[in-house]
Amino acid sequence: MDEPFHDSFDDGPLDRGRWLPHYLPHWSSCAESAATYEVLDSELRLSIPHDQGLWCADTHAKPLRVSGVQSGAFSGPVGSTVGQQPFADDQVVREEQPAWWGWTPEHGRIEVRARMELSETSMASVWMIGLEDSPERCGEICLFEVFGNTIAADGARADVGTGVHPFRDPSLVEEFSAEPQDIDMRASHSYAVEWRPDGIDFLLDGRVVRRSSQSPSYPMQMMIAVFDFPDPGSEPTHVPVLAVEDVRGETLR
């Protein structure tokens, strides 16, 4: 990456030159994918209130609600199958998104400091994805993925997923798992990757928890999101929250 990147979310409203407060809007629309969020007390707080609607209600197989921000966007025209992170075969674009690269590093140290409040039906994640301006530039580097049903009753232990998803990138292979970590997810922790041309180190609070010899060789955008998978037969009783206090990116020396 050419220039260091730092957002501590303490300078007023969300920086729209860096973040789009929507989750993959090309598969639905900007109106239907809008995040519920606030920038408060030096945190970006993403949440899913009880009255938030479903995302892609008529096409996503499992009911899903999501609040997310992303640092880039790209799709083909309406009716095409060109778009980032499709979740179904032959999925088509419903609202074209112009190409926009707010922050799209290629290699470097990328770090997020975050905390979360999750229920049994929710999860939170931060990941990097390819821009998919070419179909094969679609791989994922996951800094963390945490499901609420893996968090211990006392809050002091949870399964934290990290790794690489190839999707349609023929140069990558699936390399992902969730390992138990003795940390309180309600407190802020540092999740980082050191992404080099010859591999990736995944770090939790400065400690290497995974090493990979794989390395996507194209720019990627960041995705930050909290998800809820509601039970259609019951009313929600918890508001999931993902609070991010810091995002950093810098060149590795």
* pLDDT for the residue 3: 83
**Domain assignment present for 87:** no
Tell me whether residue 88 is in a domain: no
- Domain assignment of residue 83, yes or no: no
Kindly state the average pLDDT of the residues 112-132.
Answer: 96
pLDDT at 1: 66
pTM above 0.85, yes or no: yes
Cα dihedral angle (103, 161, 65, 100), rounded to 10 degrees?
A: 10
Q: Alpha-carbon torsion 242, 248, 161, 134, what sign? A: positive
Q: Per-residue pLDDT for 238 more than 80?
A: yes
**27 lies in some domain:** yes
Q: Is there a domain that residue 179 lies in?
A: yes
Q: Domain limits at 17?
A: 5-76+94-250
For the chain, the average pLDDT equals: 95
Query: What CATH code is carried by the domain that includes residue 215?
Result: 2.60.120.200
Residue that is written with structure tokens 């860096």 in the block:
18
Give the pLDDT confidence score for residue 207 in this predicted structure. Answer: 98
Q: What are phi and psi of 244, to 5 degrees?
A: -110, 125
Whether residue 213 is contained in a domain is answered as yes
Q: In which band, very low, low, confident or very high, does the pLDDT at 153 lie, cut at 50, 70 and 90?
A: confident
pLDDT for position 104: 97
How many domains does the chain divide into? 1
**Nearest CA-CA partner of 129 in 220, 27, 217:** 220
Cα–Cα dist 102/21, whole Å: 12
Owner of token pair 């083909």: 76
Give one DSSP letter per residue of 79-126, joined into a string: T-S-BSS--STT---SS----EESS---SEEEEEEEEEE--TTEEEEE
Look up residue 70 and give its two tokens. 């992303």
pLDDT one-digit tens code per residue, 180-232: 999 999 999 999 999 999 999 999 999 999 999 999 999 999 999 999 999 87
Question: In this structure, is residue 89 part of a structural domain?
Answer: no
List the structure tokens of 101. 């690269």
